[in-house]
Amino acid sequence: MAVAVKYAGSFVEDGHVGGHDAGATLVRRLMRVFPEAKLVGGRARHAEGFDVVPLEYLDPSDTVVINMDVVDSMAVWRTLAVGGGEPRVMNFVWWNTSQFTHPVQRASLALSCALFPTFANSQRTATEVREIVAQLTVPQLAEKSRIAWANLGIRLEHVQPREEPTVPIVLYPAIYLSDRKQPQVFLDVVERVHRRTPINVEARLHESHLISEKAMRLSRKDWAWVGPLTATREDYYHHLARTTAFLATAVEESYGLEYVEAMVAGAVGVFPDRPWARALLPEGYPFLYTDVAHAEELLFRAVTDTAACRAELNTLVGGDFVAWLRTRHDDSRFEQQIADAVHGWFGEG
């Protein structure tokens, strides 16, 4: 059994899968899980350790297409079916389903996940997918849907020893300044905290958001640094090892990979009191805010009494909070479970 990964946002740069966004990172992870996998692309060519192959060139009889562009899985099936045989298509839902607001988009998502086996990046996402399928497809399809999940997890070997900064560093824990992330709330809160105590703020943004108005506004602060994404994962974790705290402000998240990475590196996470945040954290997590004023107080405490905050988290889990996170968010578990799902749905490879 061969595997091909399809993601419209993927591109090959210097023989490797390029990009630093979540989609590109996940493509590289899937290529590690399935070492001989092909990447679906517009022009056939060889890259470093893998081939790029147009969809219509794939052999549907022995190739499983892991489709990260889930709403077009029906079109993928039709393209593969032209050559005869039964196409093997699997959805990988790695984003928040709330981004699809148009009725046609949501219906397409529901039908795709009802027709094709679907793997989700977290239990929360899997639950949302099941609800959409149940609401927007007929019972005969919904009852036969196959949906599995595993937390994405992080590569624990990248985590580096702590280096406490002289001035506390607060991270903007996203690479986009989209409305769903509520960057204005982040800006308002860190400005309030900065008036009370010295802090430095760091934001590493996707190039498409570096020149936005909000990025420019933040970069004008002499206590803030706004720049591009780090070139390597090692550099990324080096910066996380010096991060004191972060303030999450998103309305919705499908999983929350960046938050987990920062907390495992030792940063104190301040979250909105929302279901997506509670899904990541232990029961009774003390740094969940209900409004902007509450967020300010929690972040102020995180940067002025950091050791006590970490001790409180350790007490909460009855030991080591970072170890608690490591146990639940190890990417090796995700890799094993998605491989098992592919083999279980499509036969041993």
Domain ranges, residue 137: 2-153+331-346
Tokens of 230: 């780090």
Range 46-57 average pLDDT: 93
- pTM, rounded to two decimals: 0.85
Whether 135 and 185 share a structural domain: no
Q: Is the pLDDT of residue 257 over 80?
A: yes
Q: What are the counts of helices (DSSP H) followed by strands (DSSP E) for the chain?
A: 14, 16
Whether 317 and 335 share a structural domain: no
Q: What is the pLDDT of residues 178-193, one digit of tens each?
A: 899 999 999 999 999 9
Whether 266 and 340 share a structural domain: no
Whether 57 and 196 share a structural domain: no
Whether 259 and 279 share a structural domain: yes
Total of domains in the chain: 2
149 near 119, Cβ under 8 Å? yes
CATH number of the domain residue 211 falls in: 3.40.50.2000
Q: What is the pLDDT of residues 148-179, one digit of tens each?
A: 999 998 877 888 999 999 999 999 999 999 89
pLDDT band at 39; cut points 50, 70, 90: very high
Lowest mean pLDDT among 198-207, 227-236, 249-258, 321-330: 227-236
Q: What is the pLDDT of residues 207-216, one digit of tens each?
A: 889 988 889 9
Q: What is the pLDDT of residues 94-110, one digit of tens each?
A: 998 988 989 999 999 99
CA nearest to 226, candidates 216, 236, 239: 216
Predicted pLDDT at 349: 42
Predicted pLDDT at 27: 95
Q: What is the pLDDT of residues 117-148, one digit of tens each?
A: 999 999 999 999 999 999 999 999 999 999 99
| Relative orientation angle of helices 233-240 and 257-264, to the nearest 10 degrees | 60
**E-assigned strand segments in 137-292:** 147-149, 169-171, 200-205, 224-228, 245-247, 268-272, 288-289
Whether 103 and 213 share a structural domain: no
Whether 46 and 122 share a structural domain: yes
Predicted pLDDT at 205: 93
38 near 66, Cβ under 8 Å? no
CATH number of the domain residue 117 falls in: 3.40.50
Tokens of 199: 């802090």
Q: What is the pLDDT of residues 60-75, one digit of tens each?
A: 988 999 999 999 999 9
Q: Which residues pair with 3 in a beta bridge?
A: 64
Whether 167 and 204 share a structural domain: yes
Q: Quickly count: other Cβ atoms within 10 Å of residue 231's Cβ.
A: 9
Please give the distance of CA 224 from its chain centroid, rounded to a whole number: 25
Q: What is the dihedral of CA 96, 108, 22, 145, to 10 degrees?
A: 80
Whether 217 and 308 share a structural domain: yes
Whether 141 and 170 share a structural domain: no
> Pick the residue with more confidence: 143 or 1?
143
Whether 194 and 57 share a structural domain: no
Whether 32 and 177 share a structural domain: no
